[in-house]
Amino acid sequence: MNFLRSSLYMAYLVVTVIPYALCCVLWAPLPLAWRYRLTLGWPRMALWGARWILGIRYQARGLENLPDGPAIILSKHQSAWETLYFAVKLPRDVVFVYKKELHHVPFFGWSLALLSMIPIDRAKGRESFDQVVRIGSQRLAEGRWPVLFPEGTRVAPGEVGRYKQGGTMLACKTGVPVIPVAHNAGERWPRNAFLKTPGLVTVSFGPAIDPAGYSSAGLNNAVRDWIEAEMRQLNPERYGQKTPA
């Protein structure tokens, strides 16, 4: 049954993304706010399909922690599911940090390139952090919320990656609070896996952390500590006695 569900969902994504991407190219001359709203239709469809085809339900905790003003979202990264969720469910327009090579991916990458997010060149090392701060500051000034995955890549449930400081450097530079986010989407939608399983995903938004008084490294540690402690609340069976890296 899971194979059938996953096959149907993959077909659903392919059938919808191609015409949607072509539409994105056609409405490229429109103002960015319009393009964003129109383009958001596809993540909505993908999230809807995950719910009704794959059976992946979701719940959110801590929504009261989301501020009315600027914020930087720093989240656990386990799958592609959370990128759909953040784009659709967060109360502000979001911008993701991602490697600029994604712009070359047919259809999906073309649409992404039109949304003025934060593409970076990872090969440039330290300079890529400078790109996050420079472009991220511009996006915050536009009223948009940067979403970053400090571990840099998807990690399997129960694993802990090295938390990088791009998001906390941006927070310390701009004075904008950070919202740490834990979730267990990888339990239902594993990284790099075709098969997905029905069930409940919990997304937990932590209290805002004011960067005042923190160094970038200190803020990064605070974010990591909250996320990893919350992960052990969401799925304690995955961790045993392991502690954050």
- The pLDDT value recorded for residue 158 is 94
Domain ranges, residue 84? 2-238
Q: Per residue in 92-134, pLDDT tens?
A: 999 999 888 888 787 777 778 888 898 887 666 667 778 899 9
Residue 242: pLDDT over 60: no
105 in a structural domain = yes
244 in a structural domain = no
CATH number at 86 reads: 3.40.1130
Using CB atoms within 10 Å of the CB of residue 178, give its burial: 0 to 12 exposed, 13 to 18 middle, 19+ buried: buried
- The pLDDT value recorded for residue 73 is 98
Question: Among candidates 167, 201, 166, which has minimal Cα distance to 182?
Answer: 201
- The pLDDT value recorded for residue 245 is 52
What's the N-to-C CA distance of the chain in angstroms? Answer: 37
How many structural domains is the chain composed of?
1
- The pLDDT value recorded for residue 65 is 98
Residue located via tokens 């994504």: 13
- The pLDDT value recorded for residue 183 is 98
245 in a structural domain = no
- The pLDDT value recorded for residue 243 is 47
CB 206 within 8 Å of CB 71: no
143 in a structural domain = yes
Percent of the chain having pLDDT more than 70?
96
The dihedrals phi and psi of 28, each to the nearest 5 degrees, come to: -55, -35
81 in a structural domain = yes
Q: Per residue in 36-71, pLDDT tens?
A: 999 999 999 999 999 999 999 999 999 999 999 999
19 in a structural domain = yes
Percent of the chain having pLDDT more than 90?
74
209 in a structural domain = yes
243 in a structural domain = no
Q: What is the pTM of this model?
A: 0.92
